[in-house]
Amino acid sequence: MRARTWAIFILVNVIVSAAVVLTILFIWDRVHTPTSTLPVTEEVVSTPAAPPVASPTPPGPLLYTVQAGDTLGVIAQTYGVSVEDLMAANGLTDPNVLHVGQTLVIPVGAPPLASPSGGGEGGETAEAPLEPSSTAVPFPTPLPTPTASGPPLVEIGQVLGSGDLATEVVIVRNRGGAANLEGWTLSDVEGNTFVFPVLTLFTDAEVRVHSAAGTPTPRDLYWGRISPAWSGGELITLRDAAGNVVDTYIVP
């Protein structure tokens, strides 16, 4: 009986002790557990954006103003470009037609974007001076078309203003390949003879021989006479430098 009493007593003590310990732990947990959690602020460091890099401005077109005696060949040689590129950049169809004061776009560097008439809004494009070529050009000559080929076919095409010194002119044309006319002559039976200077006549090009005096150009030559050379019904003979007859023409 006494042993059972002690067992019950010990069991009760264990239960009470366990209850006390659990109560203490519960109270401790409530006291030391924070009632709210402070938010954690994450510091964000912003990186400044890199400044935009300006793209280089393409250079403007190089322009040249045609002077008296200029030819496309001389201009192209001076700037180191081809005649075909120079014609394409300026929309030219006849390489023998240039006008004093005409503005040409020189296709150097970037492809030309502006027309020969000048720069864009708000400013003017500076014109490039033409530096003298190291190769002497004794006389400006008409320039070739890109399709020039075959043997030359030079002929007297027409005589205008015969008998009038101010308007008298002989038109010589070439319907074949390029022809060197240096030393060629135009003459009549009376011995009046015009001798061609250094001149190359290209395909489908023509040169006008004036009887009067004047300043020669790639399209116009001047005899420098003080009286007319040709008269109606007269035979004009065109000879090459070797004296061979190339063509004849009767003045109307």
- Match domain 60-132 to its CATH number in 3.30.450.20, 1.10.150.120, 3.10.350.10, 3.20.20.70: 3.10.350.10
**Residue 112: what pLDDT?**
40
User: May I ask the CATH architecture of the domain 154-250?
Assistant: Sandwich (2.60)
Q: Which two tokens stand for residue 112?
A: 């030309």
**Residue 242: what pLDDT?**
94
Indicate the pLDDT class of residue 136, thresholds 50, 70 and 90: very low
* DSSP state string for 98-162: --TT-EEEE--SSPP-S-TT---TTS-PPBPP-PPPSS--SS------TT--SS--EEEEEEEST
**Residue 135: what pLDDT?**
39
**Three-state DSSP state, 146:** coil
Q: What is the distance between the alpha carbons of residues 252 and 244, in angstroms, rounded to a whole number?
A: 24
* DSSP state string for 185-200: EEE-TT--EEE--S-E
Q: For the whole model, what pTM was predicted?
A: 0.44
| Strongest mean pLDDT among 4-8, 111-115, 120-124, 208-212 | 208-212
Q: Which two tokens stand for residue 246?
A: 């190339």
Q: What is the distance between the alpha carbons of residues 34 and 76, in angstroms, rounded to a whole number?
A: 91
Q: What is the distance between the alpha carbons of residues 81 and 109, in angstroms, rounded to a whole number?
A: 10
Indicate the pLDDT class of residue 52, thresholds 50, 70 and 90: low
Comma-separated ranges of CATH 3.10.350.10 domains in the chain: 60-132
pLDDT mean over 108-118: 42
**Residue 28: what pLDDT?**
74
pLDDT of 142-164, one tens digit each?
A: 444 444 457 889 999 999 999 99
pLDDT mean over 116-122: 41
Comma-separated ranges of CATH 2.60.40.1260 domains in the chain: 154-250
**Who has greater pLDDT, 73 or 214?**
214
